[in-house]
A and B are shown apart, each in its own frame.
Chain A
Amino acid sequence: MHRSTPGKCLAAWLALICSLPVFAMETVYQSPADFLGEYLPGCRQEALWLSSDLKAEIERLVEHSWHGLRVRYCRQGEKTAWILDEIGKTEPITSGVVVNEGRVERVRVLIFRESRGAEVNRSAFTRQYDNASLGEDHSLDRNIDGITGATLSVWALNRQVKLALLLDRFAKRDSDDD
């Protein structure tokens, strides 16, 4: 038996309404504590204090204003791990980035809150950042292939990785000064 057109419309409308909470769901792939425990076990929590110059540089890189006077990170020897939030379209994406001597060692999307673009979580995508470093012009030393339908999430992740590399550079300067 064929369903009438109004019946189909009603069914589609109901399906859309019922699925809205699913679209808006927060997905935790890994908690920040577990990420640090897996990739930088026993690391020491530290804070990088932001000078006005560094804050301005951060704002140029992320292309929006930056709130706060410091950024926390975890250090283990030369390695640093950064848990950063960056908005994709409307909601923040939380990612973890491990940096070793100025190069990306690991990128992982930890919490995804957007309704679309969760494909950035796939390791096939995040592996592209392995060993990436930051140039003086705030660009990565390689091209990152995008994902159709996840452009804003890809851009957010690019900003997070670049920010982690920039912050690592300054954290290293701070520790060298000490």
Chain B
Amino acid sequence: MTIDGFKRLQFLARWHRRIALLVCIWLVALAATGLLINHANDWGLDRSPLSASLQKLVYGFEATRGESCGRGGAIGPDCAQVFGRLELPAGALLLAPDRLHLLDGTGQLIESLPVSRLGLVGLEGGRREGDWIYLRDQRQTVRTDPELLDWRVLDADTTAVLGSGPWQVRGEATEHITWERFLLDLHAARFLGPLAKTFTDLMAGLILLLALSGAWLWWLKRRRD
């Protein structure tokens, strides 16, 4: 091999190492987040919310959904889904899209009831008026007693009379960000905003470059030997 050829080999090897080091950091982060995302359901990451401070720091807003649960954690991780709370004479009723959680005066869980048991498909809102609780999905409104034992579907006329009082509505609550969502954003480098795509393209390009430069290095060394 000539001196020029040797210098070219050294130059190529040096840059190959530098690019490899840069890409390596990204690949480690990609593999680590990928591994966690792959087991998100097994390890409960798809249900665990980020801490309020971390969510505020990373996403810039705090979740209001789940705030209504109160202290004590009577319903555990399901709290992240709660979007409303109706105060009752002997406790409270927590509203979540799929379930209602009835708490006693001390915040202990009395009963957790799927909304489908009341004939609703995906709870949209709830309100209390006097002795009655009104709950609605996209199709219909149900009136129930505070014990949730005596309920009936209201007809359109009665629903219309209810008007637009103070409903606690599902769409108005901002959701908790789960760890899975956070990891997905990290995995896809979405925190870089519009640059995320360019960054991913750059990394992909560097990996291609590594593969080509590696093959070239191997060929040059083989020729030298």
Which A residues are closer than 8 A to B by beta carbons? 31-33, 45-47, 67-72, 83, 85
Q: Could you tell me if A69 and B116 are in contact, using CB atoms closer than 8 angstroms?
A: no
Question: Mostly helix, strand, loop or mixed at chain B's interface?
Answer: mixed
Q: Whole-angstrom distance between the alpha carbons of A71 and B111 in the complex?
A: 7
Q: Could you tell me if A72 and B110 are in contact, using CB atoms closer than 8 angstroms?
A: no
Additional A-B contact list (8), CB under 8 Å, known A45-B149, A69-B108:
A31-B116, A33-B117, A47-B149, A68-B112, A69-B109, A72-B113, A72-B148, A72-B149
A68-B111, A69-B104 known; A46 vs B149 contact (CB < 8 Å):
yes
User: B105-137 vs A: 1/0 string, CB under 8 Å?
Assistant: 000111111101101000000000000000000
- Smallest beta-carbon distance B50→chain A, Å: 24
Is there a chain A Cβ closer than 8 Å to B155's Cβ? no
Kindly report which residue of chain A lies nearest to residue B108, judged by CB atoms: A69
Is there a chain A Cβ closer than 8 Å to B150's Cβ? yes
Is there a chain A Cβ closer than 8 Å to B185's Cβ? no
Kindly report which residue of chain A lies nearest to residue B149, judged by CB atoms: A45
User: B160-203 vs A: 1/0 string, CB under 8 Å?
Assistant: 00000000000000000000000000000000000000000000
User: B70-102 vs A: 1/0 string, CB under 8 Å?
Assistant: 000001000000000000000000000000000
With a 10 A CB-CB cut-off, give which of A31, A68, A69, A72 has the most chain B CB atoms: A68
Q: Whole-angstrom distance between the alpha carbons of A83 and B148 in the complex?
A: 15
A46-B149, A47-B147, A72-B149 known; A32 vs B117 contact (CB < 8 Å):
yes
A45-B149, A46-B149, A47-B149 known; A69 vs B119 contact (CB < 8 Å):
no
- Smallest beta-carbon distance A86→chain B, Å: 14
Q: Whole-angstrom distance between the alpha carbons of A69 and B113 in the complex?
A: 12
For the complex of A and B, 9 pairs with smallest distance between CB atoms = A45-B149, A69-B110, A68-B111, A68-B109, A70-B111, A32-B117, A70-B110, A67-B109, A33-B119
List 27 A-B pairs, Cβ < 8 Å. Answer: A31-B116, A32-B116, A32-B117, A33-B119, A45-B149, A45-B150, A46-B149, A47-B111, A47-B147, A67-B112, A68-B109, A68-B110, A68-B111, A69-B104, A69-B108, A69-B109, A69-B110, A69-B111, A70-B110, A70-B111, A71-B111, A72-B111, A72-B113, A72-B148, A72-B149, A83-B117, A85-B114
In the bound complex, residues from chain B placing their C-beta under 8 Å from that of A72 are 111, 113, 148-149
